[in-house]
Structure 1
Amino acid sequence: MVFLLISVVVFLAVTFLAPKKIKRSELYAVALFSIVLGFVTDITADLKYNVYGYIKPGVQFTGFLPILILFPTAGILYMNFFPFNKAFVLKLRYTFFWTIFCLTFEFLSIKSGYFYHNGWKYWHSALTYPFLFWLHILHLRFFRWFAGS
């Protein structure tokens, strides 16, 4: 639980202090998309299939902290510094770095006891994280098109 609370404070601080490279409306859209994506994936994987979860099976208030704070702040940081106008290989490297970061964070979350696997494997996460990051990119592109910017 201490790891979760420290993570919340650090993620919030880094997100608020980081220089912003995308518009505030885009940051807001990314944050909301991250929350929705977090609820969809966690309700499906945790509550329906019980392959992973927070603290113990079922719904706990602390299980909302990652979805409501860690996911949107991570989404904002990922999208804020994404190398949109760079070569494809740099985009892949950037996403690879974030995937490694998330796998490490997931490992530490399990070791701290606030997250658990129940049939879920790290290689599932290694395949899932890049897909979720690219969904963020597609969403932001859609948002920009929809907003006319």
Structure 2
Amino acid sequence: MTFLLISAVIFITITILVPKKIKRSEIYAVALFSIVLGFTTDITLDLKYNWYGYFEPGVQYPGFLPILFHFPTTGILFINFFPFKRNLIQRIFYITFWTMFCLTFEYLSIKSGYFYHNEWKFSYSALVYPFLFWLHLLHFNFYKKYTG
């Protein structure tokens, strides 16, 4: 629980303090999308299939903390610094960096005891994280297109 709380404070602080390249409305849209994506993914993979979870099987209120604090702050930072004007190789490198960051954070979360794997493997995460980042980009571009 200590790692969860300290990392949440660090993520929130960094997200507040970094220079913003995106508008407040875009920050809101990214944060909300991250929360919805997190709940959708976790309800399916944790509660329905029991592939992984927070603390212990079932629903615990502290298990909402990563979804409400880690997911939106990570989404905001990912989009805020995404190299939209760079070439494809640089964009792929950026997504790879964030994937490695998330894999490292997932490992530390498991070691700290607030997250666990059952049927889930790190190799699945390595494949899923780039897809989740792509969904964030897809949503962000959709939002920008329809809100001007």
Query: TM-score under structure 2 normalisation?
Result: 0.99
Structure 2, unpaired ranges of 5+: none
Counting only pairs closer than 5 Å after superposition, residues 1-149 of structure 1 correspond to structure 2 as: 1-147=1-147, 149=148
Dislocated runs of 4+, deviation >3 Å: none
Q: Which amino acid aligns with 1:82?
A: F
RMSD after superposition: 0.4
Secondary structure of 1:53's match? strand
TM-superposed CA distance for 1:31, in Å, is 0.2
Structure 1, unpaired ranges of 5+: none
TM-superposed CA distance for 1:118, in Å, is 0.4
Secondary structure of 2:5's match? helix
- Following the alignment from structure 1 to structure 2, what is the Cα–Cα distance between the partners of residues 113 and 14? 24
Q: Which amino acid aligns with 2:50?
A: N
Secondary structure of 1:56's match? coil
TM-superposed CA distance for 1:116, in Å, is 0.1
- Following the alignment from structure 2 to structure 1, what is the Cα–Cα distance between the partners of residues 89 and 139? 21
Q: Which amino acid aligns with 1:20?
A: K
For these two proteins, the number of residue pairs brought into alignment is 148
Secondary structure of 2:116's match? strand
TM-superposed CA distance for 1:80, in Å, is 0.3
**How big is each residue's C-alpha offset from its partner over 1:102-136, in whole Å with a ceiling of 9 and x where there is no partner?**
00000000000000000100000000000000000
Query: TM-score under structure 1 normalisation?
Result: 0.99
Secondary structure of 2:53's match? strand
